[in-house]
Structure 1
């Protein structure tokens, strides 16, 4: 027999392999080691106390809407295959019932208490997002544009009739060729000094107003954004008309009595959408449509009878910024309502995971799929995020309400960036999360009756509504860079960005080699460590992108440099928003008066923070902010905290206080899910 020098090694490797296979087979036949016994949930949290802490001061309006809708036949669950036309007609009836029968006055609510208004929209969205978006298009956009961009004469003329639905309207900003770049829209409003009118024109097909909610069926008036053009004797140079930039105008599009489309206006249906087909969306085209001069919403710029233009703001850019700044409420509302979508999706997925049993130790009962580590890894950080986003949205609405009361310029700028960032970050996260929830429910998640499809499709457009998420994140990054520049010029920083003032030098110095090695649970669950990690990452990204921009600008110019660093800028914005969210969560934990509730919120907060750190662990490792062993400790602790949160998941879900009538998905009910499931599909 001929052997090679390595033949003995080969034989030993084969023997080792055989032995390993035997050991694996033996282990597969043994029951896994039991987890620590699940403690009594009452030791962790009092559901009623947690529910009470989550309830914001606007809970009463949600209960009022819920009680009304649950007693009305037109608010029965919308059939899954309802045609768009029938769905739109149903939503119009529902909208009328809420205003005329329930006596809701959303526009008054929006002015008096924005938090109550946002809560109202969330409650309505729990029944049907198409209905909520329809109300939002009328009140937030059409009504909001009149009261925020108009002056006393507009409010006196339109407010009450918008509030009681006598003047249904729409918001015509987006054009076929321009959505995010509003300054480039092409619709014109040319002043005619002879007749004292503006002439609204669509100069080409690219300027057709597109995706205008309520335009195709319901709206009688529109806020039309257009370029204000003054005639030759105005302020233009070289004999050219003067383009004064983007302004908003009230344009009647249908007869107030007959509802007939007015002369010079074309209205077309934008067609079937992926979701929200209970909202009619139309395209508007204008051909020499004349409107009175008073129909200019003139808060930031006005035209006198003689054609002279006046404004308290000296430049087109400043007027444009002020105009869009007043419309930030739409972004705040989308962030607010999105959190409700996440709560619903997570509730359905977690309750199903508790109900569904699959596999288990040999000769023993099957176990809940939520007892599997992989399932906990999917759903428990998502549940933690729902809590984190809840407290972030409370902060956003508080800041927005304060801004509306004070009109403080610094606060306006902060709220604009905060709303842009939270809307972008939250809606993007939730769109991905709905798909994960669907997947985690297996085949039953694919059944339309269990709602993941409609939640995903109706919510998906939130990433585009009120500004594309990628564009909005760039606004956040741009503002951070501005604050960074202010710091190094010795200027003051606004409160929202104070960690740049207080801690930039510490964050950008060499990481502490002792802290980088600490692995204990007490250290990792210390809010100071978590916040420092979040802020270190943000500050490092901020400094590095500032350096990169300066380098590229010398060769590529401003636009080219920005584009070259775009992914870096978006990462910066997302990192900052995560820091803002964590700050709000930590403060909510500290402010909780009930000890048991505070303990469970601390557990959830720690999972949120450490899961985010682990998901970006490469960044921390690359700069030696954490050692390999510390990174491993973070991963293990995330797994352990996911298990701990799983133990109280039913209570955490119940604390969202979403009635079964609003959950509606059979697999998301608190009891008898399978029985209701079979009834829903007609067995």
Structure 2
């Protein structure tokens, strides 16, 4: 019997002593080429140029340790909500001005949300509601008069507010919202009304307890120009509507009910709102894209209702950027806990007097965690590129750039939050039973983060938006129209999509497999190939079944196309980041992470083999290279999560603390009440 069979027999044996004696000895990272050790502080500074903001913000919580509760899920929703308010007020008292940052320095604003995600994800969401959504809607959809009236009070949290878009019956389909805003010409007021239970505003953050006002999305209706009694419906617009006359006192005609306990984020006071003929002044309309005069005449600077609606929603992309940043913060925290734990946790060994082996030395553990770590780095570079585009979009108002940011923010939000949700479960499993302990936070992070896949647009809907824009660019490319930045690779990629290069399909040398030109071309090829085929399928099915059924028949292909596009953009962003890194040791690790990110995607997607882009022997070589890169990165894995720069007092998971590398059980035992 071979040694492998001996090991398996030992595991299956009923004799515990025999199991210990023949436990397997995994392939050690020492069997692979070693990456040079790098200074984690240098890597942190490179990846995180806003580290001074991190130090300022995290110092607030170091000075107020009572705000850092280790088991938030043990609090009642009322206790948790009060804790979140105290955290936000402490942050504001320290001199932070979130709405000012959103308006003048969005990079720092989005980074602030990422930092807060590991303090308490409820705090991140509370801030997002107050500043990105409530404040952002006033700033981006209103006039200068609205800005002057509300800015300071929103920034100081003196005017807590809500973003009342989602209804009980309608969420992602914003155009179908039912809440009405009817102009009473005689009194020069809007009458805000909930026509039926399906139009109740639902899951509205800040509504249950704190919100004094809300941006309410409602159907704008004015008397028909013909003088008839009918109303002209101009579609969904945004209005500022008071909810309370004072804390705890509802405004006339406003009824609010608490949505109660949720699966997570119980520090956010979600509520349901009914409006019964609530009157607000005509100036309550946020009128950047449409206005109504004293006589009830509607006008808009936009050439069509579709353009106006798209411009209105386009101004709200900042919420998706913020969710991407917050999700990345959670992803980095989960990987920090799991990788540090796996590096110090000993399990089995070769037997005899030999010591047990760290769990992270097992290839199976490496394959679960290290491609995820590579993805976290890739998505960080992609997020930074998105934020840069967002800042440029706000500066220039360029139409093509706006479309690019809309697509990229939708795609990155969907991809990042979906990947983070899946990875948190992997991290929990990789930490064994200790990952199930509430004090180690993985369960709470998983539960709190889960709704990020639904916030600001369901991920499946957002990915369809990305696919739709890709198809539009594909059609436009044949008309000679310029491609926006994130899609500019498609022109060259489409030309190379057919056929695959037969020489490259058989090249299995490590130099070739880790050549960025090959890896970028491979992901470009996949996106272009999928775009080409889905466009052809849509044309065929549309002729037979109509546009709606054709889209539905191609839906799964369209979702895969959107994900492939985001992975291609992320890889190119990461390789650009590798080139910008001046420290050679840091650059070596970043290059290995980028290679692993790309190769793991190529290995996982059967398209490359079906399309003859990879020969069978090359597919096997890709798999071996993925395993080899995991082995190389094992030696610097702890340094790579250290470079995320999450202090122990913020991470608060005993098995994942930096100090746990030297004393793995001291903090853990103390957190569970044991005296040592």
TM class by shorter chain equals over 0.9
**Which residue number corresponds to residue 538 of structure 1?**
527
Structure 1 vs Structure 2 CA RMSD: 1.8
Map of 1:15 onto structure 2: none
Q: Secondary structure at the match of 2:346?
A: coil
CA contact (8 A) 1:235 1:241 kept: no
1:3-402 counterparts in 2 under 5 A? 20=1, 24-25=5-6, 35=28, 37=30, 43-56=36-49, 58-80=50-72, 81-99=74-92, 101-232=93-224, 234=225, 240-256=230-246, 259-363=248-352, 364-402=354-392
Cα deviation per residue 1:554-599 (whole Å; 9 max; x = unaligned)? 1211111111110010000000000000000111111111111111
Residue 680 of structure 1 aligns with which residue? Answer: 671
Report the Cα offset of residue 158 of structure 1: 0.7
**Conserved in 2, the CA contact under 8 Å of 1:147 and 1:155?**
yes
Which residue number corresponds to residue 16 of structure 2?
none
Q: 1:552 to 1:43 in 2, by over 3 A?
A: closer
Matched, 1:464 2:477: no
How much has 1:102 moved relative to structure 2?
Answer: 1.3
SS at match of 1:606: helix
Q: How far apart in 2 are the matches of 1:226 and 1:121?
A: 29
Which residue of structure 1 aligns with residue 404 of structure 2?
414
Q: TM-score, normalised by structure 1?
A: 0.94
Tell me, in whole angstroms, the C-alpha distance in 1 between the residues paired with 2:79 and 2:261.
13
Using CA pairs under 8 Å that are at least 6 residues apart, name the structure with larger relative contact order, 1 or 2. 2
- Which of the numbers 563, 579, 600 marks the counterpart of 1:611? 600
CA distance in 1, matches of 2:616, 2:4: 30
1:13 equivalent in structure 2: none
1:44/1:228 CA distance change after superposition, 3 Å = same
SS of residue paired to 1:127: coil
Q: How far, CA to CA, are the matches of 1:495 and 1:135 in structure 2?
A: 31
Q: Does 1:654 align with 2:645?
A: no
Whether contact under 8 Å (2:25, 2:357) holds in the other structure is: no
Q: C-alpha offsets along residues 191-218 of structure 1, whole Å, 9 cap, x if unaligned?
A: 0110000000000000000000000100
The CA distance in 2 between the partners of 1:600 and 1:235, in whole Å, is 70
Structure 1 Cα separation of the partners of residues 424 and 269 of structure 2: 25
SS of equivalent to 2:195: coil
Pick the aligned partner of 2:657 from 648, 660, 669.
669
CA distance in 2, matches of 1:177, 1:448: 35
> Once the two structures are superposed, what CA deviation does each residue of 1:636-668 show, in whole Å capped at 9, x if it has no partner?
110010010101111111111111111111100
The yes-or-no answer on 1:593 pairing with 2:585 is: no
* 1:495 alignment partner in structure 2: 485
- Pairing 1:439–2:429 present: yes
**Alpha carbons of 1:31 and 1:681: their partners in 2 closer, same or farther (altered >3 Å)?**
closer
Task: Tell me by how many angstroms 1:490 deviates.
Answer: 2.3
Matches of 2:492 and 2:160, distance apart in 1: 49
Determine which structure has more spread, i.e. the larger CA radius of gyration.
1
SS in 2 for 1:126: coil
Q: Which runs of 5+ in 2 are unaligned?
A: 11-21
* CA apart distance, 1:24: 3.8
Distance in 1, matches of 2:181 and 2:603, equals 53
**Aligned equivalents of 2:47, 2:665: Cα separation in 1:** 30
Kept after mapping to 2: 8 A contact 1:431/1:456: yes
The answer to whether the 8 Å contact 2:26/2:363 transfers is no
Q: 1:504 aligns with which of 494, 500, 503?
A: 494
Please say which of residues 409-418 and 75-84 is displaced more in the overlay: 75-84
Deviation of residue 241 (structure 1)?
1.0
Aligned to 1:223, the other structure's residue is in SS state strand
Change (3 A) 1:36 1:550: closer
- What CA distance in whole angstroms lies between the structure 2 residues aligned with 1:247 and 1:544? 38
Shift of 1:46: 2.5
In structure 2, distance between residues paired with 1:113 and 1:408: 19
Equivalent residue of 2:237, what SS?
strand
**Aligned mates of 2:357, 2:25 — CA distance in 1:** 12
Q: Distance in 1 between matches of 2:185 and 2:35?
A: 75
Which residue is 2:17 aligned to? none
Could you tell me how far 1:91 is from its partner in structure 2?
1.3
1:240 is displaced (CA, Å) by: 2.6
Seen in structure 2, the aligned counterparts of structure 1 residues 385 and 561 have a Cα distance that, compared at 3 Å, is same
Distance 1:432 1:577 in 2: 17
Secondary structure at 1:613's aligned position in 2? Answer: helix
1:556 aligns with 2:545: yes
| Cα distance change on mapping 1:30 and 1:104 into 2, 3 Å | closer
Task: Kindly provide the CA deviation profile for residues 591-638 of structure 1, in whole angstroms up to 9, marking residues without a partner as x.
Answer: 11111111111111111110111111x111111111000000000110
Q: Contact 2:27–2:361 (CA<8 Å) still a contact in 1?
A: no
TM-score relative to the length of structure 2: 0.94
Note the alpha carbon deviations across 1:207-249, whole angstroms, 9 max, x for none: 00000000010010010000000113x369x753100111000
SS in 1 for 2:268: coil
User: What CA distance in whole angstroms lies between the structure 1 residues aligned with 2:41 and 2:356?
Assistant: 31
The question of whether the paired residues in 1 share the 8 Å contact of 2:596 and 2:629 is answered with yes
Cα deviations across residues 130-160 of structure 1 (Å, max 9, x unaligned)?
Answer: 1111111111110000000000110111111
Structure 2 residue corresponding to 1:639, chosen from 605, 608, 627: 627
CA distance in 1, matches of 2:226, 2:333: 55
Q: What is the CA deviation profile of residues 522-548 of structure 1, one whole-angstrom value per residue up to 9, with x for unaligned ones?
A: 000000110111011111100111011
Q: Any unmatched runs of 5+ in structure 1?
A: 1-19
Equivalent pairs counted in the alignment come to 657
| CA–CA distance in structure 1, aligned partners of residues 278 and 7 of structure 2 | 83
